[in-house]
Amino acid sequence: MNFLKRSLNAKIVVLMSFLATIFFISLFFVSARLQENGVIAEMTLACSRLERMARLAMMTPMAEGNDEMTKQKFKDIAHEFKRVNMSVSDFRGIITYSTIDSQIRKNIREVYASGGADAIISKVLEKKGVETAVLHVGEKPIFFEAKSIMNEPSCYHCHGKSAPILGATIMTQDVTTSFDSVNDFKVYTAIISLASMTGLLGCLILFMKQSVIKKVGVLARASDAVGSGDFSAVFQVSGNDELARLAANLSATVGVIKDQIQYQKSVLDGISVPFFTCDTKNIINYCNKVLSDILMLDQSRIGTINVATAFYGEERETITSTVVAERRPLTGRLVITRPGRQDVPLNYSISPLFDANGNVAGVIGIMIDMTADESAKQLMLEQQQTLLRIAEETAHVADVVNGASEELNEQIDHASHGAQSQARHVSETATSMTEMNTAVLEVAKNASNAATTSDQARIKAKEGGEVVAHVVNSITEVERQAGELKADMTVLGKKAEEIGRVLEVISDIADQTNLLALNAAIEAARAGDAGRGFAVVADEVRKLAEKTMITTKEVAQAIYGVQEVAKNNVGHVNVAVEKIAQATALADRSGKALDEIVAMVNATSDQVRSIAIAAEQQSASSDEISRSISHIETISTEMSETMQHSSRSVAALSEQSQVLARLIEKLRGGACNDKLKALGC
């Protein structure tokens, strides 16, 4: 199918052939169907007319009940219309009259069983209507029509009124000749359609080829030539139609492009600096004469040689590849080396070229020959060396003086900072000693007060120990009483259980009494009047037993409540005993702790007295130290002022050394002016 994609002619021919084929095939089938429908309509009309004629002819003998005359009428129809068969059946489907005698008294469904006539016959026998169809019996096409015979008033004298449908009229006709004519018409129509389609396609293809395809081919060939770079191609198309105007417009457009290219080439040839252009594959497509002379490049190789071979003589990575990949300009310097010739230094600027869609289409490189500048730079460098040697010697002396002065200045600064720090620390020490003396006096005073307080604490601690001893005794007594309460509550619980067992016995007695009372009541009832008094007594006894049972249950519930309370109290007493034991242990520990506190307070009191005496002695020593530190502070302040004066003198010496260094730097700068700096000095 690739030829359809490459050829407009093939596309048009295939499309027109497909459309023409679809059109004529559709026309053929529509014509054939209309012809068949026409034949069937004519047959239906003819059979309807024949059926009406037969009915009119048979109406009189049937109305009179003349069966022989009716059969004669069917024979006349068979003699007159030899290709037509007509049969009449009753409502059961039994043939009563027919143009074929052998069918009489047979079931009509059996006679017409083939070809699908059975369903049509059943339909018209069940419901009023007319059904027609073309059936194929063997290889012959048969037109088949079935029509219901309705029970009309003229038929009531023979058939009565009960059955709405008396039977059916069946008419068949061999339509082989008519369908052969239709088939012949189909063949003629197919031949005519095929011939017409072939002629029409030939005319259309010839017209398209001469009027469109040929002109489009000329335009395509000329455009291919222009695309290959041949701008001398001619878009020659005859006529005044759209394709001719398109050819003229394309010719004008190519002419304008050709003029623009020549103009741009003239502009490029007029540029005196070396430059070149290349495509995205690094193939040089333009190189002016200045650069080609530097590269010793033959102009005939432009368009085939790549950048690496032209500049370096070998395949390697180039700046143009980087520019294409990164889509940004790059600058730098390179040296062109050729055998038997002086090296040529070039400063380059390589930039990407973009098409209308913003894609990189190529690269342009502009270069500057730096050979003359390199020669001037070498001459100036030689003149510069003498001045540089003098400047280096002077700079060495200045560096020595500057280094010594800086070292001395650092030492003086260090000593000055040390003196200042010493004076600051001495001042802080004096202040601290004054504060410490005050604190020592305060400590002595507080120590004396603490001694007094310690004596009082010792007395209170001793009293607290006695109180704790009394508390321990009280708690011990409470523990003993709790133990007795626990024993009593246990006894109470046992007594309550004994009462419960007694109540169970009483409850059983009440149950037995109730049963005896019921038995007595039953026996009294059997005794009749003689046992009536006994029955009254038995009923009272039964009621008393029921009250006893109810009272026993209430007492049992009360005893059960007492037992539960007793159990709870025993639990609470156990908890209380445990807590009392813990309180006793804690009270013992508190007594021991108070004894230890009394001993410690005694020791603390003695130590506080010793601290008070030592603090008084330390206060006297602190006064003497404060006087010595004040004298040292005065000496440190004088030494710091002396060191600051020396530092200012050394700073002045260092400043003079820096002036000398700046003069030497100016001397160096005079040997290398701005022009040499631009050349890389």
Q: Where are the domains of the chain?
A: 4-204, 231-267, 271-369, 380-667
Tokens matching residue 47: 């059979």
Reported as a pLDDT band with limits 50, 70 and 90, residue 678 is very low
The answer to whether 143 and 175 are in contact (CB under 8 A) is yes
The answer to whether 95 and 135 are in contact (CB under 8 A) is no
pLDDT of residue 144: 80
What's 4-204's CATH class? alpha beta
| pLDDT at residue 283 is higher than 90 | yes
| pLDDT at residue 351 is higher than 90 | yes
Let me know the angle formed at the C-alpha of 140 by 135 and 146, rounded to the nearest 5 degrees.
Answer: 30
Cα–Cα distance measured from residue 160 to residue 152, given in angstroms and rounded to the nearest whole number: 10
Q: Which helix (H) or strand (E) holds 25?
A: helix 8-64
| pLDDT at residue 153 is higher than 90 | no
Cα–Cα distance measured from residue 12 to residue 204, given in angstroms and rounded to the nearest whole number: 10
At the second CATH level, the architecture of 271-369 is 2-Layer Sandwich (3.30)
Q: Minimal CA–CA distance to 198: which of 27, 10, 22, 17? A: 17
Cα–Cα distance measured from residue 32 to residue 257, given in angstroms and rounded to the nearest whole number: 62
The answer to whether 450 and 608 are in contact (CB under 8 A) is yes
Over the stretch 414-464, which tens digit does the pLDDT of each residue have? 656 765 665 666 566 667 667 666 766 676 676 667 667 767 766 776 776
Domain 380-667 has CATH 1.10.287: yes
4-204 matches 271-369 in fold: yes
DSSP state of 328: S
Mean pLDDT across 270-294: 88
Cα–Cα distance measured from residue 158 to residue 189, given in angstroms and rounded to the nearest whole number: 55
Considering just the CA atoms, what is the radius of gyration of the chain in Å?
A: 72
3-state helix, strand, coil in the chain (%, to 5): 75, 10, 15
Residues 6 or more apart whose CB falls under 8 angstroms from that of 396 comprise none
| pLDDT at residue 18 is higher than 50 | yes
**Percent of the chain with pLDDT strictly greater than 90:** 6
Q: Hey, which residues does 150 pair with through a beta bridge?
A: 165
Mean pLDDT across 168-173: 82
Q: Which helix (H) or strand (E) holds 402?
A: helix 371-527
341-345, 479-483, 547-551: least confident range: 479-483
pTM, two decimal places: 0.33
Question: Count of CB atoms within 10 A of residue 496's CB?
Answer: 19
Over the stretch 520-562, which tens digit does the pLDDT of each residue have? 778 777 777 766 776 777 777 777 777 777 877 777 777 777 6
Cα–Cα distance measured from residue 675 to residue 672, given in angstroms and rounded to the nearest whole number: 8
Over the stretch 22-32, which tens digit does the pLDDT of each residue have? 887 887 788 77
Torsion of CA 219, 224, 228, 234, to 10 degrees: -20
Q: Minimal CA–CA distance to 101: which of 74, 66, 77? A: 74
